[in-house]
């Protein structure tokens, strides 16, 4: 069953507030930019090892593979998997088989079938599994969700546009099957919208612009609606230069809610309700610590399902080749 699973945790951690020993699998850009600073500043975790055949961290035991790390540090309680998407399933399964709690960088898998199997494996092993939708921990998301809970929603506009050359330099995997192309950032927007809107919504049509030398889209236009036919439109683009755009606007019977700057700024009507420094990964690791200590899992596949629907249902248009 896809969704949130609750299961007993096999590992005994002693004091429920004691530090959790964690290993990092994959020491690439996202790990160095986000995971390492979050772990370093977390009162809940201690980084004791990494697994990456190409990279090491000073002062931390490094291994060429996850299997070698698990054998070398059997006391690990949890792992964070930050490999490219197509490798996450195999790595997560190994960690679960060894009884470890697992954090999956987004998206949690290359396919829904992979994630479904991981949910079942975590349930059988009694291990926490966390699909880490980091954008849901942006400062304004919780307040937006609360404000919208009882509102009549008339329209939703999502604009998520950024420069792939800035955010994914030299990362050719993003243009290969499973790399998701513009849906790599676009799924962040979908993770927020699926969190803040009070009703489920469904894809009605999609247009995917795919460079002639790539397998994944560089831009996409998506139209959704819910059971009440509320129009929800999303525009994703990897070709944005200059200022980057990560905005969501929701028109309601009580005015417009705008969640901008990736969720760090919340405006209702003309009033700035909240504007705060982005600390998504700090919140992400605080949530993972809760799950490890409680022995529960949190795996929401709704954002990934919407992306899968877009690939299944979208019209493809071939555009100019992408040259970095």
Residue 38 is encoded by which pair of tokens?
């979050």
CB contact at 8 A, 114 and 56: no
- Angle ∠(124,308,322) on CA atoms, nearest 5: 125
Of residues 232, 295, 245, the one with CA closest to residue 100: 295
For the chain, how many residues are written?
324
Contacts of 218 (CB under 8 A, 6+ apart): 164, 181, 182, 209, 210, 211, 237, 238, 239, 319, 322
Residue 241 is encoded by which pair of tokens?
């230069």
- By CB atoms closer than 10 A (0-12, 13-18, 19+), residue 243 is exposed
The residues assigned a catalytic role are 106
Paired with 266 in beta bridges are 259, 274
Is the C-alpha dihedral spanning 199, 200, 204, 207 positive or negative?
positive
Paired with 251 in beta bridges are 155, 256
Distance in angstroms (rounded) separating the CA atoms of residues 96 and 191: 25
What Rg, from alpha-carbon coordinates, does the chain have?
Answer: 20
Distance in angstroms (rounded) separating the CA atoms of residues 300 and 171: 27
């Amino acid at each position: 069953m896809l969704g949130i699973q609750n299961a007993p945790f096999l590992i005994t951690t002693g004091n429920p507030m004691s530090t959790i020993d964690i290993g990092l699998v994959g020491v690439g850009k996202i790990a160095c930019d986000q995971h390492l600073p979050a772990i370093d500043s977390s009162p809940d975790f201690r980084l004791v090892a990494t697994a990456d055949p190409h990279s090491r961290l000073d002062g931390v035991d490094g291994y060429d593979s996850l299997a070698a790390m698990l054998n070398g540090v059997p006391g690990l309680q949890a792992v964070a998997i930050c490999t490219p998407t197509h490798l996450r399933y195999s790595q997560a399964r190994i960690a679960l088989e060894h009884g470890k709690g697992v954090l999956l960088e987004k998206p949690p898998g290359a396919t829904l079938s992979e994630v479904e199997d991981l949910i079942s494996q975590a349930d059988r092993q009694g291990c926490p599994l966390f699909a880490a939708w980091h954008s849901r921990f942006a400062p304004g998301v919780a307040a937006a969700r609360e404000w919208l809970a009882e509102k009549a929603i008339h329209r939703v506009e999502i604009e998520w546009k950024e420069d792939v050359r800035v955010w994914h330099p030299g990362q050719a995997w993003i243009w290969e099957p499973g790399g998701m192309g513009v849906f790599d950032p676009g799924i962040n927007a979908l993770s927020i919208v699926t969190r803040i809107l009070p009703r489920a919504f469904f894809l009605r049509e999609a247009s995917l612009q795919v460079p002639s030398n790539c397998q994944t889209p560089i831009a996409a236009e998506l139209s959704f609606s819910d059971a009440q036919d509320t129009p929800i439109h999303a525009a994703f683009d990897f070709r944005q230069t200059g200022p980057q755009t990560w905005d969501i606007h929701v028109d309601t019977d009580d005015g417009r809610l705008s969640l901008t700057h990736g969720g760090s700024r919340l405006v209702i009507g003309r009033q700035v309700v909240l504007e705060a420094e982005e600390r998504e990964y700090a919140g992400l690791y605080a949530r993972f610590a809760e799950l490890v200590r409680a022995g529960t899992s949190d795996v929401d596949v709704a954002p990934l399902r919407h992306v899968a629907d877009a690939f299944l249902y979208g019209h493809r248009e071939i555009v100019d080749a992408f040259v970095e």
